[in-house]
Structure 1
Amino acid sequence: MEIRSLRDIQPGEECFIHYVNVLQTVNVRRKKLYDNYRFWCECLRCKRELKILADTAIGDRLKLEETEAKAQTFLAKIDKEFDENYYKMLETCETGLDAVQNDLDTTNPHMAQLHVRTQEACIGLQKWKAAVKSGMEIIRACKTHLLPTDPILGFHMWRVAKIQAVTLNQPIVARDLLQQAIDVMSIGYGSTHPMTMEAKELLGTIIDQ
């Protein structure tokens, strides 16, 4: 087993791992942790995000919770009903995004999760430009909510850069994002991880062109 740190650790500092998808809202994360492990998370991120919610005006908070619940309903429908039926999946994703995008910030985790499903459907349907567009929205959300060395961010950077470089034949466009993906994955996954090595090989091919 190999354990990798995403940031410097101070002497005596407690180390943590996450048990759930971290690209979710604080209420969703904490509820899943309680339902599955019977504890309410009190990590620094959860406490920070709970404070932001507590400081939000009650009317705005209720509106946010209502819209996020609506988004969660669409996500549950997508995950339950559309097993590789990419046409229906994409249709529901687009309906969900249309229903909540005016009331949620573009980096809201629920928006990000809708874009994750949208990208999956677009890849399944070979709608590559749309897949890149959703991927860039996912990357924006990752940069907002995750550590800059988080492998989830690196993975989504790599996914978009690979589509740009290989499928859309836009290697110059993909080059900077590919380098960023390698930098992140080298920390989060390790420099010899197969995904990191594949990204390095692709970057070398682009540089040699």
Structure 2
Amino acid sequence: MAPRLERFVSPGKGNGVRATAGIKRGELVYSAEPLAGCVSNKVARDVCHHCFTRRETLLRCSQCKMARYCNSTCQKQAWSGHKRECKCLQSLRPRIPTDSVRLAARLIFAMLSPSKSSSEDLYSLEEHESHLSSMSEQKKQGLSQLASMLELYLQQGVPDHAQEMTSALPPSCREPLSLIAKVTCNCFTISDGELQEIGVGLYPSLSLLNHDCRPNCVMVFEGTKLQLRAVQDINPEEELTISYIETLSLTEDRQRQLEDQYHFTCHCQNCDSQDKDRLMLSGEKSTWRLLKEALPRLEALKAESNWQALLESWSHLLSTVGGEVPDENLYKLKMTDMALDASIHLGNWEDAVGYGEKTLPVYRQYYPDPHPAHGVQLMRVGKLQHYLEHIEDALDTFKEAYQIIKVTHGDDHPMTTELLMKMEECRAEMVQQSSETQPHKNLCIDPMLM
């Protein structure tokens, strides 16, 4: 952990991390590779299992038939971590364990072959909370089933190493149920440049960071490397916070998710004041209630990639009640975002840019601090404007995105580099357009030469 940070006891929260010196907005506070990580099952065919890059074509492991790689180089580099997993996957084929089971197994494999010193870590695996004592019986039962799957996965795949694997773990992690509980409560979702989930990973020291619905730090990923950056100026002895969840939701829904998944009640300023709830529920309840009731159906259509049906449903809702509901309404915003996704997938570019531009003023209201979600939304809209040759609009949108992305991602991140390239393309195209439309000077011809 960086020398500017220290562990401390945060009042009412337990362990936390605070600054020992001032940290400026946009500074890289901490970066780390995971102790263990794995690609999510739902994108396992599309993402390299070593570098976590999305590619249209990937090489498949000839033995387990699940792991996929960019090329032979990625495959060779991944083998030391994959060789034990490969046997386990073969033993259960065609069944595939859940992400949490595969991550727990990879954690055990990593502990068997430690590749780096953990002396700088502020938080150890042994100290991770399992929260078993505060879980409902129903949740414990679900975790028990995962623990049984973990045992089967390991015994079937590498029976000779079962005892060795168990002894490699700290005492509090040797019980499969406790290990699975710690993994599910402390793992981080690894996302790509578009903030789409591509995997899960364990970053022990970052589990010390406490939650706030308006945090002073955000996390972004480059491959599996997690980067923690400040989005507000942080004073010495001030606690560093992140958001465990998507904050663009009602206070009641955020608190329910935090209690169900992380077993605490949030008392941050946003939750206690509920200051955004009125904006999120703007408009007449009798009208936006119809959007709220229809939202699960549209989310199911999105999950099925049934884009045409999603757009038809949204168009019907929009003509029925959508015009009476302000764009700031949470349910309308979520549906407009889904309509944007659907229009992009169907190649309806004019509709897509219209939906995207409607969301931008709303995003500005909901994300007062630089936030990756706001930056990515601006980039998406800017790319649509650029594609449709709305060059000046695109440049303005890219400039606004850059002001956010340079803070949340830093100057060296591929997203920042891509944005700078897009801005240069727009400027070059504007210069070219200007030269093509500029009138040519009239040439004076001497009549004596005619």
* TM-score relative to the length of structure 1: 0.83
Contact 1:146 1:153 in 2 (8 A): yes
Deviation at 1:114, TM superposition (A): 1.0
Residue aligned with 1:22, SS? coil
Deviation at 1:186, TM superposition (A): 0.8
Contact 2:301 2:309 in 1 (8 A): no
Q: Which residue of 1 aligns with 2:68?
A: none
Which one has the bigger helix percentage?
Answer: 1
* TM-score relative to the length of structure 2: 0.41
Please give the residue correspondences for 1:1-209 in structure 2 after superposition, counting only pairs within 5 Å: 1=32, 2-49=227-274, 64=285, 69-82=289-302, 83-98=304-319, 100-101=321-322, 104-165=325-386, 167-209=387-429
Residue aligned with 2:248, SS? coil
Contact 2:385 2:391 in 1 (8 A): yes
CA distance in 1, matches of 2:243, 2:400: 24
Residue aligned with 1:39, SS? coil
Contact 1:90 1:118 in 2 (8 A): yes
Residue aligned with 1:3, SS? strand
CA distance in 2, matches of 1:96, 1:35: 32
> C-alpha deviations, 1:44-89, integer Å up to 9, x for none?
1222226975xxxxxx99x64x655543332211222341111101
Residue aligned with 1:4, SS? strand
- List gaps (5 residues or longer) in structure 2: 1-31, 33-226, 430-450
Please say which of residues 88-97 and 135-144 is displaced more in the overlay. 88-97
Amino acid in the other structure paired with 1:197: T
Deviation at 1:100, TM superposition (A): 4.9
Question: Larger C-alpha radius of gyration, 1 or 2?
Answer: 2
CA distance in 2, matches of 1:12, 1:97: 50
> CA 1:15–1:105 in structure 2 vs 1: closer, same or farther (change >3 Å)?
farther
Deviation at 1:174, TM superposition (A): 1.0
Contact 2:340 2:356 in 1 (8 A): yes
* Matched residue count: 201
CA distance in 2, matches of 1:100, 1:18: 33
Which one has the bigger strand percentage?
Answer: 2
